């Protein structure tokens, strides 16, 4: 591709609606792709924008009514670019002023528009690099902007400061994107990850769409990643070396955990209410008692409580299915939460595999239960650190990855689950979420609005698109970019961690990528050595 | 006085009527009118042949038919040699530019052509020099001509293209200029382009 190819000139612009660019005659309208970057050379500043629409224009309406004989190459040559021309619609995203101060500040959000007839060029690799930055110790290469060779680098230190989301239809590459992002966080940020791995994709080995396998986190970073499992048997079968087997004790399950299972287990509101009452009467061991005591004994205990029989039966049926889960034991021997926390606080990332327990009920229960307890420990630690004003005592930032997020964060339960709290309270306690979901419209609006950075693969449901893009400036333009992403391996990222929205192709998750990871490690050590030597001679 | 270029080719006509935008010239030889659209020059003024007629010398006197007993048309003129003197051919040229010092400019000259000024047919070199830019197209399109201006514009460009090695490129460039000039009148543009298409 030609660097800095001139495309045309600005013919109309409005800050709200974007910039219309008339293409020069030699530029083929078919080369203009939605999602491409352009620069506009204003008089005082450069504008950086994205192509969001492409259209055809004629100078005279009659041309469209009685079209010329385009088989005649002469007529076609004459009319192309003169009477008939292509136009592109550009949404300006950033400005870069010419003066020295502005160069230091970097790209700024756009607040004005370029003047008439400003030249519009295709953004060069250098331009992209200026905007998104180079790969360095904070930035991680997640792919290339569409149709470009430049590396798109994401500032992961910024990224983990807030909750983030990865969205896309099933089969569009969410899992790969998540893996890449997790690796990025592992390498470049101080944060530790806790991954609730519903389909056993991240820990040791993952599947590839269309056959084959992909290396999981532990294969790539054995020292930094621990795999926990709920299903020892399945892990053994899959030859995964696990670090710990998680068991959930019945006494660890609280009524709060039941309330988010309401719709999964078909519980009524009254049944959920009953759970709280039972807990109040029976204490910590309530679940065990409800499930295992004889009817008469229970009746004795519950004398005086106003629990409707129907609700109680309803609840008991639901609780029964929890009791039948293989990883649920009457009383857990080891403290799973403490174990996970120990790993996390040492800076080791934890992937919790669900093995064969892939039903949503088990996932909701475990993820919610563990996260709630981990979060409260984090909160305590954080408050202690704040009390003595000691930065070093603060726990490492923690990123919790959950799949099927709309089950946790739908408007009905978002208020009740711990994830709703984490998403809203954000990083106050150094805990944030990485939400993976295919139905973002199911996630509560409030939670969506609090997400820092969103990465989305192809979505084609109108409501999903709307909910992902809610509140983003230039929403309509981004919509056209989003709905035209390829069904695989293309994504749009926007929000806190990137200066402007960008459609990109994630790096291929293959042998080359694995090699680059270890390579990058070596490079950083040599860089470190060089830096140390420099320091020494200062 | 305007000087006459010594290298110029043979004079073909003489100006007999002149205005700011047009001039008419009588050809020295009957029927030897330059083709429609030819670039001609009188003094420093350039014109494009935009009309031509052959009429009787005396406006009131119509020629009479003479060929009834003749075998061929040539024989009519051979048996009546005075005819060549009683008829005359005239051309009308639309003024499209002039020489300002060494520079050719493509807008109307400050003064019209002089009566009895000699008219020369421009040679390929001069045509190439003149047609480096297309400012004259606008003058031609707006001129009030005896012949439909689409015809004149097309004829002019066809004539000029012969002086250019790559006539197609020339015509495409001219066509683009026309497309810009006639951006709100596609039908006129279409008519002209239809007459430009190289065979």
> What are all long-range contacts of B166-173, with beta carbons under 8 Å and residues at least 24 apart?
B167/B198, B168/A74, B168/B198, B170/B131, B171/A74, B171/B196, B171/B198, B172/A74, B172/A77, B172/A78, B173/B134
Residues A429, A379 share a domain: yes
Say whether A86 sits in a helix, a strand or coil: strand
> Pairing mode, if any, of strands A119-122 and A139-145?
unpaired
Q: How confident is the model at residue B15 (pLDDT cuts 50, 70, 90)?
A: very high
Task: Verify that A209 and A168 share a domain, yes or no.
Answer: yes
- Give the closest residue to A470 by CA, choosing from A439, A453, A448: A448
pLDDT at B24: 95
* Number of domains observed in the structure of chain B: 1
On whether any CB of chain A is under 8 Å from the CB of B199, the answer is no
Higher pLDDT, A3 or A27: A27
Q: What domain range is B189 assigned to?
A: 11-196
- Asked if residue B6 is part of any domain, the answer here is no
Q: Is the Cβ of B20 closer than 8 Å to some Cβ of chain A? A: no
Scored b (16 or more CB within 10 A) or e, A230-252 reads bbbebbeebebebbbbbbbbbbb
Q: What is the pLDDT of residue A461?
A: 84
- Residue A535: what pLDDT? 60
| Residues 6 or more apart whose Cβ sits within 8 Å of residue A231 | A326, A327, A353, A354, A355, A356, A357
Asked whether the predicted pLDDT for residue A145 surpasses 60, the reply is yes
Closest by Cα among B189, B174, B93 to B135: B174
Query: How many interface pairs between A and B have CB atoms less than 8 angstroms apart?
Result: 44
Three-state DSSP state, A126: helix
Residue holding tokens 């305590």? A380
Quick check: B6 pLDDT over 60? no
Q: Do B197 and A75 touch (CB under 8 A)?
A: yes
Q: Is residue A360 part of a domain?
A: yes
Range of weakest confidence among A101-105, A191-195, A295-299: A101-105
Q: Is the backbone of residue A183 left (phi > 0), alpha (psi -120 to 50) or beta?
A: alpha
User: Is residue B30 one of the residues assigned to a domain?
Assistant: yes
Tell me if A59 and B197 make a contact (CB, 8 A cut-off).
no
Please give the angle made by the CA atoms of A71, A77 and A80, to the nearest 5 degrees: 105
Least confident of A519-523, B18-22, B115-119: A519-523
Query: A360-387 vs A418-425: helix axis angle to the nearest 10?
Result: 40
Report the domain count for chain A. 4
pLDDT tier for residue B95 given thresholds of 50, 70 and 90: very high
E strand or H helix that includes residue A274: helix A269-282
Band of pLDDT at residue B1, cut at 50, 70 and 90: very low
Per-residue pLDDT, B4: 47
Q: Please tell me which of the candidates A60, A74, A77 has its beta carbon nearest to residue B186.
A: A60
Do A394 and A434 belong to one domain? yes
Query: Residue A534's pLDDT is what?
Result: 64
Question: How many residues can be counted in chain B?
Answer: 199
Chain B hits for A71, Cβ within 8 Å:
none
Sign of CA dihedral A88, A92, A94, A99: positive
In angstroms, the CA A128 to CA A70 distance is 38
The answer as to whether A405 is a domain residue is yes
| A211 and A238 assigned to the same domain | yes
Model confidence over A354-400: pLDDT tens digits? Answer: 888 888 888 888 888 888 888 888 888 888 888 888 777 778 888 88
- Mean pLDDT over A91-102 rounds to 77
Which tokens is B73 given?
A: 């048309």
Residue A458 and residue A485 in contact, taking contact as beta carbons nearer than 8 Å: yes
* Mean pLDDT to the nearest integer, A479-486: 83
B4 within a domain of the structure (yes/no)? no
Of A59, A77, A83, the CB nearest to B172: A77
Range of the domain at A270: 251-323
Give the per-residue pLDDT at A521: 46
Side-chain half-sphere CA neighbours of A416 within 13 A? 19
- The answer to whether residue B169 neighbours chain A at the CB level (below 8 Å) is no
The verdict on A293 and A424 lying in the same domain is no
Q: Answer whether residue A523 shows pLDDT above 50.
A: no
Residue ranges of B 179-198 with Cβ closer than 8 A to chain A: 179-180, 183-187, 189-190, 193, 196-198
DSSP line for A144-171: EETT--SPEEEEHHHHTTS-EEEE--TT
Mark whether A343 and A197 lie in a shared domain.
yes
Q: Is residue A355 part of a domain?
A: yes
Q: Are residues A67 and A128 in the same domain?
A: yes
What ipTM was reported for this prediction?
Answer: 0.77
How many Å apart are CA A37 and CA A246, to the nearest integer?
48
Instruction: Write the CATH number for A169.
Output: 3.40.50.300
HSE-CB at A140 with a 13 A cutoff on CA atoms is 25
Could you tell me the two tokens for A321? 């299915």
Give the number of other CB atoms < 10 A from CB of residue A487: 13
pLDDT attached to residue A304: 67
Report if residue B26 sits inside a domain. Answer: yes
> Are A74 and B176 in contact (CB < 8 Å)?
no
For A269-284, what is the mean pLDDT?
A: 79
Contacts of A107 (CB under 8 A, 6+ apart): A48, A94, A95, A96, A130, A131, A499, A500
Determine, yes or no, domain membership for A137. Answer: no
B42 pLDDT exceeds 90? Answer: yes
Same domain (yes/no): A529, A485: no
Tell me, yes or no, whether A34 and A78 share the same domain. yes
- The whole-number average pLDDT for the span A494-504 is 85
Q: Does A68 share its domain with A172?
A: no
Give yes or no: residues A481 and A535 share one domain: no
Nearest Cα neighbor of A245 from A227, A258, A261 is A227
CA atoms A260, A266, A269, A274: torsion sign: negative
In a domain, A139, yes or no: no
Q: A274 and A338, same structural domain? A: no
A68 contact residues in B (CB cutoff 8 A): 190, 193
- Closest partner CB to A62 (pick from B176, B178, B187): B187
Cβ proximity of A195 and A475 under 8 Å: no
Q: Which pLDDT score, from 0 to 100, does residue B198 have? A: 60
Chain-chain contact of A74 with B179 (C-beta, under 8 angstroms):
no
Mean pLDDT of chain A: 81
Q: What's the rounded Cα separation, in Å, for the pair A405 and A447? A: 11
């Amino acid at each position: 591709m030609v660097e800095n190819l001139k495309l045309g000139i600005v013919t109309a612009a409005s800050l709200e609606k974007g910039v219309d660019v008339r293409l020069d005659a030699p530029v083929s309208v078919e080369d203009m792709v939605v999602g491409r970057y352009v620069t506009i050379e204003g008089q005082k500043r450069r504008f950086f924008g994205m192509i969001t629409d492409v259209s055809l224009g004629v100078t005279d309406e009659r041309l469209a009514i009685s079209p010329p004989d385009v088989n005649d190459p002469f007529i076609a040559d004459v009319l192309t670019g003169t009477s008939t021309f292509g136009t592109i619609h550009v949404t300006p995203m950033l400005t870069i002023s010419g003066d020295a101060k502005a160069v230091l500040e970097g790209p700024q959000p756009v607040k004005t528009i370029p003047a008439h007839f400003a030249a519009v060029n295709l953004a060069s690799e250098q331009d992209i690099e200026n905007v998104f930055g180079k790969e360095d110790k904070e930035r991680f290469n997640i792919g290339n902007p569409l149709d470009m060779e430049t590396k798109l680098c994401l500032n992961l230190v910024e990224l983990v400061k807030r909750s983030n989301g990865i969205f896309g239809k099933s089969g569009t590459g969410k899992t790969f994107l998540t893996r890449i992002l997790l690796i990025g966080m592992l390498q470049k940020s101080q944060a530790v990850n806790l991954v609730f791995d519903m389909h056993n994709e991240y820990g040791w080995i993952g599947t590839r769409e269309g056959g084959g396998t992909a290396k999981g986190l532990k294969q790539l970073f054995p020292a930094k990643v621990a795999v926990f499992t709920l299903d020892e048997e399945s892990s053994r079968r899959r030859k995964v070396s696990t670090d710990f087997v998680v068991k959930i004790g019945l006494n660890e399950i609280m009524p709060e955990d039941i309330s988010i299972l309401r719709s999964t287990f078909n519980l009524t509101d009254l049944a959920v209410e009953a759970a709280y009452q039972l807990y109040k009467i029976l204490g910590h061991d309530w679940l065990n008692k409800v499930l295992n005591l004889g009817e008469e004994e229970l009746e004795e205990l519950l004398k005086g409580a106003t629990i409707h029989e129907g609700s109680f039966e309803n609840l008991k049926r639901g609780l029964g299915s929890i009791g039948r889960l293989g990883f649920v034991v009457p009383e857990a021997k080891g403290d799973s939460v403490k174990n996970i926390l120990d790993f996390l606080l040492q800076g080791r990332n934890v992937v919790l595999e669900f093995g064969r327990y892939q039903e949503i009920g088990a996932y909701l229960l475990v993820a919610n239960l563990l996260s709630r307890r981990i979060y409260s420990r984090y909160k305590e630690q954080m408050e202690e650190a704040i009390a003595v004003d000691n930065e070093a005592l603060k726990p490492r930032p923690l990123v919790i990855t959950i799949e099927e997020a709309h089950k946790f964060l739908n408007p009905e339960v978002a208020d009740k689950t711990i994830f709703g709290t984490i998403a809203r309270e954000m990083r106050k306690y150094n805990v944030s979420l990485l939400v993976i979901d295919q139905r973002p419209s199911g996630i509560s609006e409030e939670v969506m609005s609090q997400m820092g950075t969103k990465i989305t693969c192809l979505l084609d449901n109108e409501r999903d698109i709307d909910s992902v893009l809610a509140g983003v400036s230039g929403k309509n333009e981004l919509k056209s970019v989003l709905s035209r992403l390829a069904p695989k391996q293309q994504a749009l990222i926007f929000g806190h961690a990137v200066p402007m929205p960008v459609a990109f192709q994630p790096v291929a998750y293959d042998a080359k990528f694995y090699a680059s990871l270890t390579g990058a490690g070596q490079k950083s050590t040599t860089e470190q050595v060089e830096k140390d030597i420099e320091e020494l001679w200062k | 006085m305007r000087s006459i270029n010594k290298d110029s080719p043979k004079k073909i006509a003489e100006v007999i009527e002149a205005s700011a935008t047009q001039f008419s010239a009588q050809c020295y030889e009957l029927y030897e009118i330059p083709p429609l659209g030819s670039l001609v020059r009188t003094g420093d003024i350039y014109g494009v042949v935009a009309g031509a007629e052959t009429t009787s010398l005396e406006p009131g006197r119509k020629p009479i038919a003479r060929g009834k007993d003749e075998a061929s048309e040539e024989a009519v003129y051979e048996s009546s040699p005075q005819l060549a003197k009683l008829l005359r051919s005239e051309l009308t040229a639309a003024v499209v530019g002039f020489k300002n010092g060494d520079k050719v400019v493509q807008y109307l000259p400050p003064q019209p052509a002089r009566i009895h000024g000699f008219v020369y047919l421009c040679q390929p070199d001069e045509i190439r020099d003149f047609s480096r830019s297309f400012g004259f197209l606008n003058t031609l399109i707006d001129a009030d001509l005896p012949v439909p201006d689409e015809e004149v514009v097309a004829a002019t460009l066809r004539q000029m293209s012969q002086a250019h090695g790559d006539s197609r490129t020339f015509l495409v460039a001219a066509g683009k200029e026309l497309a810009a000039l006639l951006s709100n009148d596609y039908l006129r543009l279409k008519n002209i382009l239809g007459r430009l298409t190289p065979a």
